[in-house]
Structure 1
Amino acid sequence: MIFDKQSLLSDAQAITADAASTNVINLGPIATGTVRNIGKGKKIPLSIQVVEAFNNLTSLEVKVQVDDNETFTSPKQIGTTGLLALADLALGKKINIDSVPRDADERFFRLFYDVTGTAPTTGKITAGVVAATE
């Protein structure tokens, strides 16, 4: 996988509590009367991978969100991994969202990491849009 800085959402981002991805992708303005849905049609590969093993937490859920503003005051969830148990968050684990989900129809795109249980002191994720996945 090859990541580029413009489409990178998390770059070895430490997940120690509930948090949005460090970066947000701005898909650009939508012209009046135009409908956008980048998740529809040909799949856009998305890679989410554990680059440092997690400890302490009970589970982690990675949510894919879009919003019409960069501050995500009213985020719309368009995809989720479901709950991932601590045992499933080992170094090298590829998380199960492999493409941008349907309904990515707003200007801004991000991931949100939802921690359940004790806050981890270790655990990092690298994620973003890529040219291809395995």
Structure 2
Amino acid sequence: MSQKTFGAMAEEAHRAVPTIKPADLQRRQKKEADLLVIDVRDAADIAQTGTVPGAVNLSFGALTYLADNEVPESWRDPRLADRSQPIITTCILGPLGAIGGKLLHDMGFTNVQILEGGVQAWIEAGLPVVKNGAS
């Protein structure tokens, strides 16, 4: 049985799900009220580095059931009810965000993109972060 590494899963995700550059994401956030940005890291990690303004924190582990229409309704996140809603996933450097984006893609979400380079690329582009605005 072959093993899949974290890096291999991230590469596979990048082949399946398109990326978006930080400046393009910022432009889209200003125009698209229904755009959902999801930071898939644990809340403690986001508190240390900050995240994209307006991003919601749905950790990768929780995303597996929060986005599932077949689990009890109380387990789901209502923001993930619409499978065609535009969603951008991110983490600090990109790989976990990519894997989160592919998870949503595999679950039937049709309009998912990955923030290229993650929050670090956002910061390097000179864009602002929020430290405790993620919810």
User: Normalization by structure 2: what TM-score?
Assistant: 0.25
> Which structure has more RCO (C-alpha within 8 Å, separation ≥ 6)?
1
Higher strand proportion, which one?
1
Q: TM-score normalised to the size of structure 1?
A: 0.25
Q: Which has the higher helix share?
A: 2
